[in-house]
Amino acid sequence: MANPVIAGIKDVGSRVFGGYAELLRIPHTARYAIGAVIACMPFPMVGMTITISVQHYYGNYSLAGALTAVQAISLAIASPMLGKLVDKFGQRQVSIPTICVWMVAAFSLVTAITSHAPEWVLFCIVPFMAAIPPWGAMNRSRWTHLLKGQPEKTNRALSLCGVFDECMWVIGNPLASTLAVISGVLSFTFTGVCVLVGALMFLTELTTEPKSQTQLAREAGMTRAEYRAHVAEQAAALRGKDEDEQKAAKGSIISAGLVAVCVTWFSIGAFQSATSISIIAFATEQNMKQYTGFVFACFSFSSLIGALVYGAKNWRIPLWKRFYFCLAVVNIGIGSFLFAKHLWVIMLIYLLIGVCQAPTWVNGNQLMLHLVPPTRFTEGMAWMGAMNSIGSSAGSAIAGQFIDRFGAHGGFMVVTVLALASLAIAFVGFKQIKESTETPDLTELAA
């Protein structure tokens, strides 16, 4: 009896993990994929470390929310610029000086917080914490370059990126809350080590790095501007645009579909950042602040499972339907936190709805493959991340004000309003998002 059960388990495991194992068996892929995740540790750790450390030393949620908002706005400004520079000049050329700036800023910030420096000093340092190379976008760019012309494998690779990202959040959130409660210095030190180790793994893997626009233009005997215009013409033709639209597309990746996706990602960032700071406040009121990281980790763990299952299947359901279904589950579920009476209830809801979190992001990544040429994919992903960061800054700032005035319940009121507004905003862009999924995948330009 045991043999059929074991055989069934192996069969299920092969179906779920076989495709991922196949991707990681491609030479050099495991190294850069894992390195990118390790280097991304500032994303789950820095915001929570700032929030907990500032609240501990200054006793002010509004200040903590404002600082995380400034960092998010700075990240939103820096990310598209860094993404554009990466596409132009190459991943290593841009990442190395950027990492140096981040390390100096991290050391300065933790010193200022622990020495209880004036608030204006914190606001001067925090913007430089946005000097983070776009690891996620660069990682996905490598996958799409490596798997060009293989859409099913490309989609699975994007899901694998989602799995690794969720692993990062599962580890980073509880670790950040635990280390930050012990010492902000310890938390920032650990994050800095992760950045250095991950960067070494990622940037020293040269064989899979996509060529920059500078290299491609030089090989084609063109200037960068001429090469971008040439690729834009190809992309417009592939979408079926007429000659006037092709001329308008030259030199720009902005389109109605891209705007719709970016605005949706702005609203997602707003309500999810408001959720994070509201949960911290709620846990503090219940004397359970030390468990906040584990609550967030439950969401990330559930999201990880969702990413694993989602990427294992070759979906026949249209991309836009999958996108809206997953988005609705996450938004409505998080909006119900307003009625939660205990931290464990929030954790349970997180576990239930988290399975749709990573698929929502994977769907967004797949939308970008239909919207921007492969030579500007990093820039397109950076714009999406930037809008998410701007939304995060707005959400955390608004929630911080309401928490200081009305407690955690006020924060969850903001969360509910923002979650429903996010869903409404996404449906405003329904036409553009649906139409974008009906156009060819632009990685075909490089096939």
Domains detected in the chain = 19-205+234-437 (1.20.1250.20)
Tens of pLDDT, residue by residue over 63-78, are 887 887 788 778 778 8
Q: Can you read off the two tokens belonging to residue 182? A: 């012990």
pLDDT of residue 3: 64
Please tell me the least confidently modeled range out of 100-109, 166-175, 269-278, 397-406: 166-175
What's the rounded mean pLDDT across residues 9-24?
69
Tens of pLDDT, residue by residue over 203-227, are 988 888 888 878 777 877 777 777 7
DSSP calls for 100-155: HHHHHHHHHHHHHHHTT--HHHHHHHGGGGG----HHHHHHHHHHHHTTT-HHHHH
The model's confidence at residue 101, banded by pLDDT at 50, 70 and 90, is very high
Query: What distance in Å separates the CA atoms of residue 48 and residue 280, rounded to the nearest whole number?
Result: 9
Please tell me the least confidently modeled range out of 93-107, 161-175, 404-418: 161-175
pLDDT of residue 217: 79
Could you tell me which residue, 44 or 197, shows the higher pLDDT? 197
Q: Can you read off the two tokens belonging to residue 390? A: 């701007």
DSSP tag of 444: G
Please tell me the least confidently modeled range out of 171-180, 334-343, 358-367: 171-180
Tens of pLDDT, residue by residue over 396-413, are 778 888 888 888 888 888
What's the rounded mean pLDDT across residues 135-141?
86
pLDDT of residue 119: 87
H or E, element range at 135: helix 135-146
Instruction: Decide if 165 contacts 303 (C-beta within 8 A).
Output: no
Query: What distance in Å separates the CA atoms of residue 201 and residue 208, rounded to the nearest whole number?
Result: 12
Tens of pLDDT, residue by residue over 270-313, are 888 888 888 888 888 888 777 777 787 788 788 878 877 887 77
Q: At what angle do helices 91-114 and 42-58 cross, to 10 degrees?
A: 20
Q: Percentage of residues in the chain with pLDDT exceeding 70? A: 84
| Residue matched to tokens 């698929």 | 359
Could you tell me which residue, 413 or 259, shows the higher pLDDT? 413
Query: What distance in Å separates the CA atoms of residue 353 and residue 371, rounded to the nearest whole number?
Result: 28
Q: Can you read off the two tokens belonging to residue 409? A: 């319940």
User: Mean pLDDT for the chain?
Assistant: 79
The model's confidence at residue 123, banded by pLDDT at 50, 70 and 90, is very high
Query: What distance in Å separates the CA atoms of residue 316 and residue 301, rounded to the nearest whole number?
Result: 26
Angle 268-259-99 from CA coordinates, rounded to 5°? 65
pLDDT of residue 11: 57
H or E, element range at 388: helix 377-406
Q: Which amino acid is at 40?
A: C
| Residue matched to tokens 């239909």 | 370
Query: What distance in Å separates the CA atoms of residue 303 and residue 316, rounded to the nearest whole number?
Result: 21
Claim: this prediction has a pTM higher than 0.75: no
The model's confidence at residue 447, banded by pLDDT at 50, 70 and 90, is very low
The model's confidence at residue 7, banded by pLDDT at 50, 70 and 90, is low
What's the rounded mean pLDDT across residues 192-207?
89
Could you tell me which residue, 104 or 45, shows the higher pLDDT? 104
Q: Is the pLDDT of residue 98 over 90?
A: yes
| Cα torsion 186, 187, 189, 190: sign | positive
The model's confidence at residue 249, banded by pLDDT at 50, 70 and 90, is very low
Query: What distance in Å separates the CA atoms of residue 39 and residue 99, rounded to the nearest whole number?
Result: 10
